[in-house]
Amino acid sequence: MTTDSELWAAGSGAAFAVLFDRHAKAVYNHCFRLTASWAAAEDHTQSTFLLAWRKRDQVVLQRDSVLPWLLAVATNVVRADRRSLARRLRLAARVPADDPVPDHADDVAGRIDDQRRMAEVATAFAKLPRAQREAVALCLWSGVSYADAAAVLGIAEGSVRARVSKARARLGRLLAAPAVSVLATEETA
């Protein structure tokens, strides 16, 4: 049987494959004991043997077995991975958290309800006489004062107030109580 030193000195792919077959399980178990993760142990074992393959011309074995050196390399690979993970976690901790995005489902549902309710109001509004519709549109929906609406409509301010009052009463009868709140905006005097 060829020793590890002889296989290492040969430096060939076939010789390295024999070293891998001899020691992969021991390196894998060592990595598992250091990480407590089978997946991480597999990754670290691969990294260990990749590093060993790259350094095969630079490293001269002092003993017949390459296993102690491989275990030392595996330990360093695990440490390096932990340091890298710690750096990434520190970096992630410095990134400001995104503001929570509000759930738009309630807004969408509210908009759909508003649209449905406004369609009901529009249907009832269409049943009002034209003069009352104009007064409601100016004073209640657009926030124009009674005096300014009277000037625009060319009528007395008292007439505008009477039209708005009659329109409210009629709409109140045509609509359910919640719809009246759509019309009952603050009046400007």
**pLDDT per residue as tens digits for the range 53-72:** 998 888 877 778 888 999 99
Residue-level pLDDT at 9: 85
pLDDT at 179 over 50: no
Tens of pLDDT, residue by residue over 150-164, are 988 899 999 999 999
Q: Which of 189, 178, 177, 182 is nearest to 139 (CA)?
A: 189
Tens of pLDDT, residue by residue over 21-65, are 999 999 999 999 999 999 999 999 999 999 999 988 888 777 788
**30-52: string of b/e by CB count within 10 Å (b at 16+)?**
bbbebbeeeebbebbbebbbeeb
pLDDT bracket for residue 176 (50, 70, 90): low
**108-146: string of b/e by CB count within 10 Å (b at 16+)?**
eeeeeeeeebeeebeebbeebeebbebbbebbbeeebeb
pTM greater than 0.75 (yes/no):
no
Tens of pLDDT, residue by residue over 138-150, are 888 888 899 988 9
Name the burial class of residue 65, with classes exposed (0-12), middle (13-18) and buried (19+) by CB atoms within 10 angstroms of its CB.
middle
pLDDT at 183 over 70: no
